[in-house]
Structure formats: structure tokens, C-alpha cells
Amino acid sequence: MRPRLAFASGAAAAFLAALTVSACGGGTPSGISQIQAIEADCSGVQYAGDGKASKLIVSDLPLKGDSAERSRQMNLAITQVLSSKNWRAGGIELALQTCDDSIGSTGEWDPGLCASNAHAYASNRDVIGVIGTYNSGCAAIEVPILNRAPGGGVPMISPGNTFVCLTEPSPTLCHRDEPGVYFPSGRRNYVRVVPNDAVQGAGLASFAQDIGVKRPFVLYAADDPTSRGQALSFQAAAAALGMLPRGAAQWDPNASDYAVQMNKVRHSGADALVLAGILEQNGVQLIRDKVAALGPNDGPVKLLAFDGFAQEATIDNTGPQSKGMYVSLPGKVPSELPGQGQVLVQAMREGITANPIEVFAPYAGQAASVLTAAIRKSGGTRSGTIDQLFQTRVVNGIIGSFAITPTGDPEPAPISVQRADQNFVFARTITPSPQLVAAARGG
């Protein structure tokens, strides 16, 4: 398929108009009276097309805490793409609700909220697809609920999940029943447009070797399978490249400091510390303690991190102590996107004047484009949309050219690395070899 975008110069204004007309408490916009709204922590139903919306797309992202700005931009990109298509997928008029899977007390995604959201989507027959989640742990809860939904399951496409075991088996990263446990019907309903953590671990290890790292130490967030998987994938790839990993340890997101962990790193003789987790898991304190105990990030002990730290909040909340750290992310940074990606980024800048474009925002836009193309070819059914998602072939799309494999992953699958300064600065794009990815996956 060849999704085409044609953004008018006033696309951001159209986006803002759509938000205004559909704001909660502002009455029901014309054209969506027949849509059943999701009764959850969601926006009002958004629609700015010419006809009568008959199907509902839902975005499911963490809208509180450190993730708020990133998720706001991801929703902006989704709405931008829908606006560019005049809120249509062929002859099907589409409305949108943006839903929250995080809670205020922690600022993080919440297992109970992820489950209740998924049940709400599954039971609402107007819902034709879900764009989300960002956090893989939330997806692990939502996907099997959506998989059993009426109509052959609710299709889900993620612009942010990287946990390997959602789509692929691994003897070292996954339980024996993964990924099958996420698809109880026996039929997959989930795809993603970002590379998984085996690709990211392989790419980050390649980059670490390129900057002279020989003895990395990995810290990962406790009780978080995604973080553990990232740590293991990096270590396996580093070993395959001839590096000598010096060990791994957990960090407790609720700890007041990380002096013990930093002492382990120092005594190991490591020349780099790699963080596998997300900023919301007390990542600010972790970075501060690293610099205090082990020196600046571009010094004898370098600091690298996975994509959970690849957001401007890392720099905003940590300040100078983040300077010099490297963060990886699945896919390409906004400045390195091809033509359609640059068109989307430029249109988004009309509504984002103060902050840089977050790296996952264009991927949310690409997810929306892939989903609407699948809906158009499906005839407007859940089951048909799922079938079409797995036949996706995008040429010159927002993130470039790629296909969705039978596992639900994108191919090819590059990763990028950025360096923290006043903002994140692009360093390199890496497409690791299939052999190194297999090593990272434990194959």
C-alpha cells in the first residue's frame, strides 16, 4: 500500500479547530451523534469531517507525569493525519477519542486502568482500532482483552511498544507461553511500527562499541519485564561484538538514592553504564547519582540509555547532569525522517512552538496512516482491518518504506542514537545485522 499525505499549510489550525469543536462539555459536534463515546478517562469524541462518523479510533497513551508532553504530541500527530485524510478511510467516516492509561498519583501507566480501558474498547462496537499503547507492560494487558473482542478482535497498532515478547519468542527474554499468551483466540490482532528491543539492544551495543566502550555495566528497573529484556538484549549483543559486560543489577524505582548500585558499577571496572527502563521509574535520581559517583557522562564512565529516557523531560528534569549521555530509540529521529515525515513535522510545528518535536510523535502519525489504510481496505470491519494490517506495505511513508512482517513487526528496522546537550542532538542511525539482532534476542 502507498499511504499518501497532503497537508495543507493550515493543517495545524485544522487540528486545533477539531479539538475545540469536540471538547468535553462543549456539546456534541455535528456529524458524530451516532458514535457511542468511550466512558473512560478520555477526551470527548473528535471529528471534523463533512459527513457522519460511523467508526471510532481510540488512542491509548499515558497523558500524565513525565510522559504528558510526549503523548500530547503523539495525539497531535494522529489528529494531524486524520485531518489530512478529511477524517475518512475510503467511504468510512472516522472519529477519534484520546484516552489516558496513566494515573496522577504516580504519573505512570496503571495496570488496572489499562485493563478497564481495554474492556471499554472491546465492548464498544463503534471502536474499529486502537493506536497505542506507549508502554509495553500496558500493551501486555490490553492486547489479550482486545484479542477476544466481538467481531474477530479489536486491531491494535503501537507507535511505542518495544518489548520483544509481544510478538516474538526468545529463550532468554520471554516466558515459554509468549507471545502466544497475548493472542488467546489463536489469531494475532497486534502490530507495531517501531523496532523491538532486540533490534534496539543490538543497535545500542554497536554504537557503544563505536565510541570505545569495552566493559559495559547494565542497570534495569526492578519488576519490569521490558527493562529486564532490554538489559539482556544489550548484554547478549555486546558479548557477540567482543565486549566484556561487567555485570547487571536492578534499581528500585522507589529508592531514595542509588549509591549501592553506583558502587557496584565502580568496583566492576566498567567504562560505561547502560540504563534499561523509563524516566518515570526515578530516572532523574538515577542520572544524578551516576554523575555524583562516577563523574560526567562523557568522562571515564560513559552513560547510555534505552528509549525510555529519549524524551525532552530527561533534560528538563535533570538539567546539566544529563549532558553527554546517549539515548537510543527505535526508528529515526524527526530530523532524519524522509519527505512525508518532514511534511508532518513541519505541520506539527505550527501547534508546537516551545518544545522540540518528540521522537515518537511521527511514529504515532505513521500508525494512524497505516490503520486508516487498513480500515479503508477492510470494508469497515474489525476482522478485516486486522487482516489488512498484516498485509501492510508502505512506500515513502512518514517514517520511510517498510512492511509489517507476520509477527507484527516492521522491516527494515533502524534505530537512532541521540546525545543530550541543551536538547537532544542526533548522533547516528544504525541498522544492526540480522545476526546481531538474533544474538540480542538469544537466538
Rounded-to-integer distance, Cα 83 and Cα 290, Å: 45
* End-to-end CA, the chain: 32
120 close to 154: Cβ distance less than 8 angstroms: no
Q: Where are the domains of the chain?
A: 11-194+334-410, 198-330+415-440
When pLDDT is cut at 50, 70 and 90, the band that residue 353 belongs to is: confident
Where are any strands of DSSP class E within 29-155?
55-61, 88-89, 92-100, 127-132
Over range 179-205, report the average pLDDT. Answer: 97
When pLDDT is cut at 50, 70 and 90, the band that residue 16 belongs to is: very low
Give tens-digit pLDDT for 410-420.
Answer: 999 999 999 99
Q: Is the pLDDT of residue 277 over 80?
A: yes
Indicate the pTM of the whole model: 0.86
∠ CA 308-310-312 to the nearest 5 degrees? Answer: 120
**pLDDT value of residue 11:** 42
Q: Is the pLDDT of residue 212 over 90?
A: yes
Helices (H), ranges, 95-190: 111-123, 136-147
Over range 148-159, report the average pLDDT. Answer: 98
Rounded-to-integer distance, Cα 286 and Cα 291, Å: 9
Q: Residue 9: CA atoms inside 13 Å, Cβ hemisphere, count?
A: 0
- In sequence order, the β-bridge partners of residue 416 are 329, 429
Over range 135-153, report the average pLDDT. Answer: 97
Nearest Cα neighbor of 217 from 135, 304, 277 is 304
* CA diameter of the chain: 66
- Give the Å distances, CA to CA, from 91 to 53, 94, 283: 10, 10, 46
What does DSSP say about strands 247-251 and 216-221: parallel, antiparallel, or unpaired? parallel
Give tens-digit pLDDT for 301-317.
Answer: 999 999 999 988 999 99
Over range 390-411, report the average pLDDT. Answer: 97
Q: Residue 356: CA atoms inside 13 Å, Cβ hemisphere, count?
A: 19
255 close to 289: Cβ distance less than 8 angstroms: no
Q: Is the pLDDT of residue 362 over 50?
A: yes
CB atoms within 10 A of CB 322: 25
**pLDDT value of residue 18:** 39
Assigned CATH class of 198-330+415-440: alpha beta
Domain 198-330+415-440 in the same topology as domain 11-194+334-410: yes
Over range 331-347, report the average pLDDT. Answer: 94
**pLDDT value of residue 351:** 78
Task: Say if domain 11-194+334-410 classifies as CATH 2.40.128.120.
Answer: no
Over range 39-46, report the average pLDDT. Answer: 93
Residue-wise burial string across 367-386, b where 16 or more C-beta atoms lie within 10 A, e elsewhere: bbbbbbbbbbbbebbbebbb
Over range 103-132, report the average pLDDT. Answer: 96
- In sequence order, the β-bridge partners of residue 209 are none
**pLDDT value of residue 24:** 35
DSSP readout, 21-41? HT-TTS-PPTT-TTPPPP-SS
DSSP readout, 313-360? HHHHHHGGGGTT-EEEEES--GGG--HHHHHHHHHHHTT-SSSPPPTT
**pLDDT value of residue 2:** 25
When pLDDT is cut at 50, 70 and 90, the band that residue 5 belongs to is: very low
Mean pLDDT for the chain overall: 92
Over range 81-105, report the average pLDDT. Answer: 96
Over range 96-102, report the average pLDDT. Answer: 98
Q: Is the pLDDT of residue 184 over 60?
A: yes
Percent of the chain with pLDDT over 70: 93
Cβ contacts of 141 within 8 Å, gap of 6 or more: 111, 114, 115, 118
- Give the Å distances, CA to CA, from 277 to 17, 22, 224, 286, 287: 37, 36, 8, 11, 12
Q: Is the pLDDT of residue 4 over 80?
A: no
What does DSSP say about strands 415-420 and 92-100: parallel, antiparallel, or unpaired? unpaired
Nearest Cα neighbor of 214 from 238, 233, 196 is 238
**pLDDT value of residue 117:** 98
Strand 127-132: give its sheet, edge to edge: 88-89, 92-100, 55-61, 127-132, 156-158, 190-192
Over range 260-279, report the average pLDDT. Answer: 97
**Cα–chain center distance at 55:** 24
